[in-house]
Amino acid sequence: MTKRLMLVLCIGVVGLVAMGCETAQSNPDNDAGAAPQAIPYDHVHVSALYQQAMKLISENNFTEAMNVLDTAIRIGGHNYMSYTLRGETRLRAAAVDFQHALAFVQGDPYATQILMETVQALKKTHGKELYQTAVICKMNNDIKGAVDCYTELLKYSPGNPWILCERGNLYSMIGEWDGAIADYTAVLAVFPEHEIAKAFLEMAKGHKEGTMKQPEQPAPAPEQPTPAPAPESPK
């Protein structure tokens, strides 16, 4: 009787496990690492979601930004941009959590050191992701998105002349001359002899003041005097 009962129980357990596996396979959302199933792609909608996510990231609202990016991926945004932005947002949220954790280990030098190193590593990785995202934004002609990435990068590398020059160039592309002038001026404060920054600064000032010089046209050649008619020979 006991053996028969054990056999019945074993069969029941195997059946439950099989049902569970089948259910898990039929529901890809159970796998946290699996990409969500896509529905018909809507480029305009996905682009709008990118903009919304970038705005939320700039406001440090990482949880909502990740939700927005989840939606972008679910409706068909299976690309480098979507996954990079979402991964970057997760890194930033993680850095914030580790930063908060530091407050609870002030009496433990070892734990403090580990957490601080973790935060710095996350920030360094985040900086690389921001640069890659800026490059992608420029390739997609999303100049505003690229500007936002460089602005965020400056928080990790304040006063970096290379980043300032890049952002100044982007400001110039969209006609935000005040931003361009400020960035080029900051570059020249570090490298006074930076000829390219000097030229770009003058160009930005000229556009802002409406005094950008037009290319000079070559002066017309002076008119040649008409030669006097030859005197008639006497007959």
Cα separation of 211 and 195, whole Å? 21
Does 135 lie in the same domain as 187?
Answer: no
Asked if residue 13 is part of any domain, the answer here is no
Asked if residue 23 is part of any domain, the answer here is no
Please say whether the beta carbons of 162 and 196 come within 8 A: no
* Number of folded domains that form the chain: 2
Residue 154: domain span: 41-158
The CATH number that applies at residue 79 is: 1.25.40
Per-residue model confidence (pLDDT) at position 177:
93
Does 92 lie in the same domain as 126?
Answer: yes
Last residue of a domain, one of 142, 158, 174: 158
Does 134 lie in the same domain as 50?
Answer: yes
Angle between helix axes 143-156 and 109-139 (nearest 10 degrees) is 160
> Average pLDDT of the chain?
73
Q: Is the pLDDT of residue 29 over 50?
A: no
Q: Which of 121, 115, 113 is nearest to 98 (CA)?
A: 115
- pTM for the full predicted model: 0.44
Cα separation of 12 and 47, whole Å? 50
> How many residues appear in the chain?
235
Asked if residue 33 is part of any domain, the answer here is no
pLDDT: which is higher, 80 or 146: 146
Does 175 lie in the same domain as 143?
Answer: no
Does 168 lie in the same domain as 120?
Answer: no
Cα separation of 196 and 200, whole Å? 6
Q: Is the pLDDT of residue 183 over 90?
A: yes
Asked if residue 91 is part of any domain, the answer here is yes
Does 139 lie in the same domain as 97?
Answer: yes
What integer is the mean pLDDT of 56-85? Answer: 82
Cα separation of 143 and 179, whole Å? 13
